[in-house]
Structure 1
Amino acid sequence: MRTGVIGLGDMGSGLAKNLILNGFECWGLDLSETRMAAFRDLGGHVAADVAEVGRNADAVFVMVMNGDQAKDVILGGLRDSMTDGGAIILSATIKPREAREIGTALENSGLHLIDTPVSGGFPGAQSGTLTMMAAAPNDVLDRFASVMQAVSASIHRVGTRPGDGQTVKACLQSLIGAQFSATFEAAALAAKAGVPGQVLLDVFSTSSAGCGIVNNALQKIIDRQFEGTGSHINTMHKDLTISMNLGEELGVPLHTAAAAMQIFHA
């Protein structure tokens, strides 16, 4: 099966790398010439535009920053260039409503939309151990399972409709944002009280509060590693904006997520 990746940043470059490592032919596109050169060095085929990716791929991952970019890529190039029966794998995190709009626009196009945002960040993307929240009919997920398995460790079938995957991701990010902000506050409180960071990590990591996010964040605070962490403040703020938007649409107050969003905004 021929594959493609549009958006070769921290996440997309990992998708492309693992597709190639698993024996898939891969076409890629990014606005950055540096990223395109790195992709070429991995053995990827560099495309001149979105349509060239579409013409040469049976399954295309779209890993861009927001819904507007996803719509431009999918409706402005992939829809008209891919062969009938192909799949657009929407792995970017966008608003559920935007995913539904894309799904509606693809009706009768002959193409399948797999709405599957991911979790795991830069480390998960590069190591091929992402968690995928996949929404599409089961026969479509079965058909393209090998492509998705090449980039992930866990594929959760969370629904059949466009937007179902993004809805689960919005819920997940509201939780993750709250975990980060609570960890930062606890670390600041401990520091002001004179409690060493390592003591805090030792206690938290073996308590009921211990988890990957808390433990990893505390370790990076102790190590004073505030760059190259695999997480970006702007991305977290964007994702929390999506969570807050969904809460507003559904009439669900998200007080904790709102507080977390203020921390990432500051």
Structure 2
Amino acid sequence: MKIAFIGLGNMGGGMAANLVKAGHDVNAFDLSAEALSRAQESGCTPFTSVREAVAGVDAVVSMLPNGKIVESVFEADVMGHAPEGSVLLDCSTIDVGTARKVTAHATTAGYAMVDAPVSGGIAAANGGTLTFMVGGTDAAFARAEPILAAMGKAVIHAGASGAGQAAKICNNMLLGASMIATCETFAMAEKLGLDLQTFFDISSKASGQNWSMTSYCPVPGVGPMTPADNAYQGGFATALMLKDLNLAMEAAHSVNADVPMGERAAELYRAFDAEGKGGLDFSAIIQSLKD
């Protein structure tokens, strides 16, 4: 299959490379010459414009920073330039309203489209083990699924257009709040004189067990290897967690959902980001909680 991949950042670069490994012919576009060069090294064909990249393809995959850019790229450079009838897959994390709006316009223009945000981070993007939460019609999902499967370990149809984005922001609100609870618990355990490895051994097998502790422990040298063991470099940046929490708050307010834990998580990550820590992994917030 001939696929255009738009957006080759920390996540998109690995995802495009995995499409090549799966045997697809991948046209790549990014504003960064360095990102394009890496994509070319991984087997992609680089292009210097979106319109050139999408010409003659069977599918277009995007991984872009925000909803405004997604809307602009698809409205101006994909629709009307990619062949009518091709399938469009937006893997960015954006607001539900924009996802539905872009999909509606794509459908009117003769395309099938899904919103398919991801969970798993940079390592999963490189390793092809992402989880995709997909919104769209049954027919669009059926066309998108094999493409997504080449980049992930799980592809789940969440529902109609926008449902993928809804699932992603709900999941990440839960992740943000649970990471803060995990961090403050380790900080308190240390102040109470508990050995942190011993506490991990106990809690990871007790009712306090959660993914933020057992798979992504925020304490260096405890549990499996995580960004905490690399000075909180790599992983999922605080600035990206804050972006997702802001999207979650916007969505919560739009449907009058009561999310006090989500709101508090957003406040704490906003403050941590304001300290200049936006580039650190989101588990680094334990530094602020310990202080």
TM range (shorter): over 0.9
Look up the match of 1:247. Answer: 252
3-state SS of 2:88 partner: strand
Q: Is the 8 A contact 1:187 1:218 kept in 2?
A: no
Residues 120-131 of structure 1 aligned to structure 2 (within 5 Å): 120-131=120-131
Bigger drift between 44-53 and 207-216 goes to 207-216
Runs of 5+ unmatched residues, structure 1: none
**Does the C-alpha gap of structure 1 residues 36 and 227 become closer, same or farther in structure 2, counting only changes over 3 Å?**
farther
**Does the C-alpha gap of structure 1 residues 186 and 225 become closer, same or farther in structure 2, counting only changes over 3 Å?**
farther
Look up the match of 1:212. Answer: 211
Give the superposed CA RMSD: 1.6
- Return the match for 2:230 from 212, 225, 233: 225
Look up the match of 2:171. Answer: 172
Q: Is the 8 A contact 1:90 1:114 kept in 2?
A: yes
Deviations 1:27-73 (A, max 9, x none): 11112211111110011000111111211421111101110111121
Q: Is the 8 A contact 2:30 2:48 kept in 1?
A: no
- Return the match for 2:264 from 255, 259, 264: 259
Look up the match of 2:155. Answer: 155
**Does the C-alpha gap of structure 1 residues 107 and 139 become closer, same or farther in structure 2, counting only changes over 3 Å?**
closer
User: How many residue pairs are counted as aligned between the two chains?
Assistant: 265
3-state SS of 1:139 partner: helix
The offset of 1:220, in angstroms, is 4.7
Cα distance in 1 for partners of 2:100, 2:144 equals 20
The offset of 1:113, in angstroms, is 1.2
Are residues 1:191 and 2:196 paired? no
The offset of 1:193, in angstroms, is 2.1
Look up the match of 1:9. Answer: 9
Q: Is the 8 A contact 1:149 1:155 kept in 2?
A: yes
Look up the match of 2:136. Answer: 136
Cα distance in 1 for partners of 2:206, 2:50 equals 49
Task: Give the TM-score normalised by the residue count of structure 1.
Answer: 0.94
Cα distance in 1 for partners of 2:265, 2:218 equals 20
The offset of 1:257, in angstroms, is 0.8
The offset of 1:226, in angstroms, is 3.2
Cα distance in 2 for partners of 1:114, 1:104 equals 10
**Does the C-alpha gap of structure 1 residues 213 and 56 become closer, same or farther in structure 2, counting only changes over 3 Å?**
farther
Deviations 1:170-201 (A, max 9, x none): 21111111111111111211222222221222
Give percent identity, aligned residues only. Answer: 28
Task: Give the TM-score normalised by the residue count of structure 2.
Answer: 0.86
Cα distance in 2 for partners of 1:70, 1:13 equals 17
Q: Is the 8 A contact 2:120 2:129 kept in 1?
A: yes
Look up the match of 2:101. Answer: 101
